[in-house]
Amino acid sequence: MLLVPCPHCGPRNSADLTLVGESESRPDPSATTPVEWRAYLYEEHNPAGWTRETWYCRLGCGRFFVTERHRGQNRFRNPPLGAPDESARRR
Amino acid sequence: MSPQRLPARPGEVIDRDRALAFTWNGRAVSGLAGDTIASALAAGGCRVFSRSMKYHRPRGILTADYWDPNTLLQVGEEPNVRAGHRLLEAGMAVSAQNAWPSVRWDAKVLTNLGGRALSAGFYYKTFMRPRWLWPAYEKVLARFAPGGVIDAGSAPRRHDKRYAHPDVVVAGGGPAGLAAAVAAARAGAGVLLVEHEHALGGHLRWGTKHERSIAAALADAAQVAGVEILTDATVTGRWEDNWLAIVERGGAGGPERLIKARAKVLVVAAGLIERPYVFAGNDRPGVMLSQGARRLLNLWAVRPGSRAVVWSANTAGDAAAADLEAAGVAVEHVDARAGCTVAAAQGRRGGLEQVVLSDGTRLEADLLVTAAGWTAPTSLLNMAGVRPRYDPAAARFFPAEPDVPEAGTVLSTGGISGDGSLDELVGHGEATGRLAAARAATLAHRLQVATAWAAPVDGREPPEAPDERTPLGRDPHPELYRSSTDGIVDLSEDVSSRDLRHGAAEGFDSVELVKRWTTATMGSAQGKLETVNTVAVLADATDSTISEVGTTTWRPPFAPVTLGALAGRMFEPVRISSLHDLHVAAGMTPIQAGQWIRPEHYGDPAAEVRNVRTNVGIIDVSPLGKLDIQGPDAADLLSLLYVNKWRRLAAGAVRYGVMCAEDGVILDDGVTGRLGEDHYLMSTTSSGSGAMEVWIQNWLQTEHPDWRVRVTPVTDAYTSINVAGPRSRTLLERLVDDVDLGPEAFKYMQVRRGTVAGVAGCVMWRIGFTGELSYELHVPAGFGPHVWQALLAAGADLGVAPFGLEAQRIMRLEKGHFIVGQDTDALTKAPTAGLERLIKLDKPDFCGRPELQWALDGEPGAEDPEALPRLVAVQPTDPAYVPPEACQIVVAGSDGNERIIGRITSSRFSPTLERSICLAQVEAAHAAPEGTLTIVGTDGRRRSALIIAHHAHFDPEGERLRV
Ligand SMILES: [Zn+2]
């Protein structure tokens, strides 16, 4: 099982966390189009390379944070410690 | 069957003073403490232990260890016991599997090896057509299938799990593994040493006196160094970041335990597995591997035969010949290095009588020992990403590079890495252990730094230790896989070299294909014995080299794990409210709702409904999710979460709201009350409380971290009691002094804080899920039982009585209140549940706004509103008929066929209306009030029902709750 580097708790078993999804900005809800909005809702890019992801530290600190993971090699590039990135977002 | 136990031998592991009685196929026999089941049977003279899987050929001991494909036996109610490994216990009822009527006389025997009847791909070819015969084929195949008998009535076992966090895990307790464990522990690492066998020492255990003394010294050193030692245990899987599955076998009668270990460094010292040689008759009882013969002889003092041919290509085989000779066995030593090979093993009735060599020599023998070479069990390394590479000079696979994977956290030592003298192996092990400890220390420091970000970490990071080990050498070894004759390659699955050649000829010419076509390497040995021979035979058949063919992929588990050990013990906590004991005393019938144990009713739910509608009832609604929301931006948060408006909610008022996800689907609903200027109490559904908390945190942390608002879950902090019924106000007035409960002072949809039955700090909101005048009390949890009892005592003359979940569900259905997740589903958007008027699109933003806007305005991108289902209230024409929930609703199509247009989502018999009532989802085109629907009952009958104008079957204007 992968160790996920929570910036607050340190590395924890991935089963302790929830992968929220790829980190993307939420479109402006008053100006968005169906195509753009549904791409935001449903589309994952899932490259076999580095991906910005939002994780939720479910059984730990309860925080959402952004990290980078190489989806081909399944390893993390740790982000700087501290507050969650502004563009981290829900699904 | 004549006894084969020899006089006492140095190094034997049996206790000659402790005889153990057991039965073999119903007959009383005996063995000694320290015996395995197989060694005890062999000591008694048993030579045939099983019948092979397809051809039902007799089989005897091959390896005398865990991987022996021929000694899977039934022990009591436990099937497939590996008798070469499992220690004998007194009273065991041991029997052969896969043999009928007996292991010696098997009715299904097919001696024509490789006959077309059971050739490669036999199952695929024979049992494909006609399809309608599949059930019959299954019955026939089941009778031929190997394996023992499961007793479905056997008592369930309890399996525990363990989590371990060692610095270093060493897989394998042979000389190199032991040396690595000792060195790592002496360097300060916490070490877990996992040995597959019952004792430490590896192949030294059946070696010379000197070898045994080295093993004993290393095992002692491991104890002294503080190594945690597990025997009869196997590291069976390795995943990211050295997450390891270790199966700890419990022996006879004891359940297996799964250990999940997170190691900083894994040292793989799994040794070498001896490889069988493929030739005609290589599966006859009496044909044995050199390690099997030496184990029988030296561990259990069992003479494996009386007249032996030892065909040896290496020093291990030579040692077996010497051991046999010293034990008084007549030995013909044939040196494979001189170029002579075995062509056939022959005999009558499945026995061994003579050995035919490649030069035509015939040798009389009842034992043929082969020492053809080794297989490196690189499985754990492969799971870490290392690919094995074939070295023809050494005739085996090696890890591609000494230690490739994951920044040096997986190391190997011992036979997997190379050959050497005992001193060299121990030296390499020690160096590996020191390296493992150093790398574990570096990793420990990094983990500590990453974990303790707010606290200083002592010391500097230890420099990453370089790998300065002197690599082990590689002894030259002849490539010996298959003779000029055909024999069995996979003894577990009964796959012959001919089967493999036929498979290749039919086009299955890659190892992954031929494996699946013939099932070679897919049996109980899982490739430990047969993979490389399979590869070699295929290379031969396809005119390529072993390197070109490559091996099949090694996947977890390396050793089998029982399902019980994987499942472990279930730990599913339930939640109870502070009133639980009172409900039990009142005779509740409990029901589990999510994690909560709740009263479904106290005897008669219909009577409970009538009592609420006429007098007053109280219900425990503590599982209701409750969130305390405080801060100047609290109203912004509510406005974002709910589809309706919140900014102008007055202090002291409560409001009903619905939350949608970003796709417009209803997520949750409930009421929220404004307790003060910047202070709200939100309720969620009981089942949704956990998810809602996460949902809200997600918005606050990722989209609006600047908002000044705090959300605190307080579900368990309050005991929640709903007091419902026309006499509820009268009852509460007797217990509340500091709040004016008058109809003008405390109106419907308002909230007050006050003292109930002497308990200060209670929150009361006047709402009405049941449709009656009702007050929901949120009482500090510790005082819950006091308030509950006070309500019952104070209202005795008013007819107060508790009511359960079922009565509440009936009353909410009478009122047409939907339950999220029951009357709505993952496709139900807010407008289709009749909530159009609640959605306020003039708010600039809230969850799901774009989807809801398109749905309401019919803008581009919106789904066809006519195709969407609507939630409607339905009454069957027959008032006594209650259609079961999920019954379909159909309409006759123009083509005469019925079409499904919806389903019943909730249904009950209403004691108030004395008729059946329902909620249903129906396509919009058929959802008009006064319309007639056709319900298909579970009995297949069609029954009519009427759509009523309002969701509420009872008191649609809500007059009863506004009094
Ligand atoms: Zn955390």
How would residue A86 be classed by pLDDT, with cut points 50, 70 and 90? Answer: very low
A77 lies in a domain? yes
How would residue B320 be classed by pLDDT, with cut points 50, 70 and 90? Answer: very high
Which residue in chain B has the smallest CA separation from A4?
Answer: B241
Q: What's the whole-number mean pLDDT along residues B150-164? A: 85
Cα–Cα nearest to B464, from B441, B433, B434: B441
Residues of B in contact with A88 (CB under 8 A): 701-702
Q: Cβ separation of A64 and B663 shorter than 8 Å?
A: no
How would residue B889 be classed by pLDDT, with cut points 50, 70 and 90? Answer: very high
Residues of B in contact with A36 (CB under 8 A): none
**Cβ distance B267 to B166 under 8 Å?**
no
Please tell me the distance in Å from A91's CA to the nearest CA on chain B: 8
A15 lies in a domain? yes
Write out pLDDT tens, residues B109-140: 544 444 445 566 666 666 666 777 777 766 66
Residues of B in contact with A64 (CB under 8 A): 697-698, 701-702
Q: Cβ separation of B240 and A89 shorter than 8 Å?
A: no
A–B: how many Cβ contacts below 8 A?
A: 79
User: Which of A34, A63, A81 is opposite residue B854, by nearest beta carbon?
Assistant: A34
How would residue B452 be classed by pLDDT, with cut points 50, 70 and 90? Answer: low
Three-state SS at A3: strand
A7 lies in a domain? yes
Cα–Cα nearest to A64, from A40, A46, A87, A44: A87
Q: Cβ separation of B701 and A78 shorter than 8 Å?
A: no
Residue A7 CA to ligand 1 centre (angstroms): 7
User: Which of B447, B699, B854 is opposite residue A90, by nearest beta carbon?
Assistant: B699
Residues of B in contact with A9 (CB under 8 A): 451
CA separation for the pair B471, B480 (Å, rounded): 25
Q: Cβ separation of B450 and A35 shorter than 8 Å?
A: no
User: Which of B239, B450, B452 is opposite residue A1, by nearest beta carbon?
Assistant: B239
Residue B689 CA to ligand 1 centre (angstroms): 21
CATH of residue A32's domain is 3.30.2270.10
Write out pLDDT tens, residues B798-809: 999 999 999 999
Please tell me the distance in Å from B247's CA to the nearest CA on chain A: 17
Residues of B in contact with A86 (CB under 8 A): 702, 705
Residues of B in contact with A34 (CB under 8 A): 850, 854, 860-861
A89 lies in a domain? no
Name the residue range of residue A57's domain.
3-84
B758 C-beta neighbours (distance < 10 Å), count: 11
Which residue in chain A has the smallest CA separation from B861?
Answer: A34
Residue A56 CA to ligand 1 centre (angstroms): 8
Q: Cβ separation of A84 and B702 shorter than 8 Å?
A: yes
**Residue B151: what pLDDT?**
81
With the CA atoms of B946, B950, B952 and B953 taken in that order, what torsion angle do they form, in degrees rounded to the nearest 10? -30
Phi, psi of B175 (to 5 degrees): -55, -45
- Higher model confidence: residue A85 or residue B301? B301
**Residue B104: what pLDDT?**
58
Question: What is the rounded end-to-end Cα distance, in angstroms, of chain A?
Answer: 24
Question: What is the rounded end-to-end Cα distance, in angstroms, of chain B?
Answer: 96
Write out pLDDT tens, residues B241-274: 999 999 999 765 578 999 999 999 999 999 999 9
Within B164-227, residue ranges assigned H as helices are 175-186, 209-225
Please tell me the distance in Å from B383's CA to the nearest CA on chain A: 12
Is residue B910 pLDDT above 50, yes or no? yes
Q: Cβ separation of B241 and A3 shorter than 8 Å?
A: yes
**Residue B313: what pLDDT?**
97
Q: Cβ separation of A29 and B240 shorter than 8 Å?
A: no
Is residue B873 pLDDT above 80, yes or no? yes
Q: What is the average pLDDT value for chain B, to the nearest integer?
A: 91
- Counting the structural domains of chain A, the total is 1
Three-state SS at B722: strand
Is residue B402 pLDDT above 80, yes or no? no
Place of tokens 């035919």: B356
Burial per residue of B906-915, b for 16 or more beta-carbon CB atoms within 10 angstroms, e otherwise: bbbebbbeeb
Least confident of A10-19, B127-136, B592-601: B127-136
- Higher model confidence: residue B119 or residue A58? A58
Which residue in chain B has the smallest CA separation from A30?
Answer: B844
A69 lies in a domain? yes
Please tell me the distance in Å from A54's CA to the nearest CA on chain B: 9
How would residue B152 be classed by pLDDT, with cut points 50, 70 and 90? Answer: confident
**Residue A91: what pLDDT?**
37
Cα–Cα nearest to B901, from B917, B887, B914: B887
Write out pLDDT tens, residues B490-525: 999 999 999 999 999 999 989 999 999 999 998 888
**Residue B339: what pLDDT?**
92
Conformational region of residue B91, where left means phi above 0, alpha means psi within -120 to 50, and beta covers everything else: left
Please tell me the distance in Å from B773's CA to the nearest CA on chain A: 39
Residues of A in contact with B258 (CB under 8 A): none
How is B763-822 classified by DSSP, letter by letter? EEEE--SSSSSEEEEEEEGGGHHHHHHHHHHHTGGGT-EE--HHHHHHHHHHTT---TTT
Write out pLDDT tens, residues A19-34: 999 988 899 998 999 9
**Residue B2: what pLDDT?**
75
**Cβ distance B289 to B369 under 8 Å?**
yes
Is residue B638 pLDDT above 70, yes or no? yes
Report ipTM (2 d.p.).
0.90
**Residue B814: what pLDDT?**
97
Place of tokens 């030593």: B333
**Residue B555: what pLDDT?**
87
Is residue A90 pLDDT above 70, yes or no? no
Residue B781 CA to ligand 1 centre (angstroms): 29
Query: CA-CA distances (angstroms) from residue B830 to B644, B657, B668, B838, B871?
Result: 11, 11, 11, 9, 10
Least confident of B114-128, B211-225, B835-849: B114-128
Helices (H) and strands (E) in chain B, counts: 22, 48
Least confident of A78-82, B407-411, B937-941: A78-82
How would residue B144 be classed by pLDDT, with cut points 50, 70 and 90? Answer: low
Interface test with B, best of A4, A30, A32, A38 (most B CBs within 10 A): A30
Residue A8 CA to ligand 1 centre (angstroms): 5
Interface test with A, best of B163, B241, B259, B457 (most A CBs within 10 A): B241
How would residue B946 be classed by pLDDT, with cut points 50, 70 and 90? Answer: very high
Q: Cβ separation of A11 and B452 shorter than 8 Å?
A: no
A44 lies in a domain? yes
A16 lies in a domain? yes
**Residue B53: what pLDDT?**
81
Residue A12 CA to ligand 1 centre (angstroms): 8
**Residue B109: what pLDDT?**
55
A90 lies in a domain? no
Is residue B183 pLDDT above 80, yes or no? yes
User: Which of B453, B702, B844 is opposite residue A88, by nearest beta carbon?
Assistant: B702
Which residue in chain B has the smallest CA separation from A38?
Answer: B663
Chain A: residues touching B (Cβ < 8 Å): 1-3, 5, 7-11, 13, 20, 26-27, 29-30, 32-35, 37-38, 41, 54, 56, 58, 62-64, 74-75, 78, 81, 83-84, 86, 88-91
How would residue B856 be classed by pLDDT, with cut points 50, 70 and 90? Answer: confident
Write out pLDDT tens, residues B676-717: 999 999 999 998 999 999 999 999 999 999 999 999 999 999
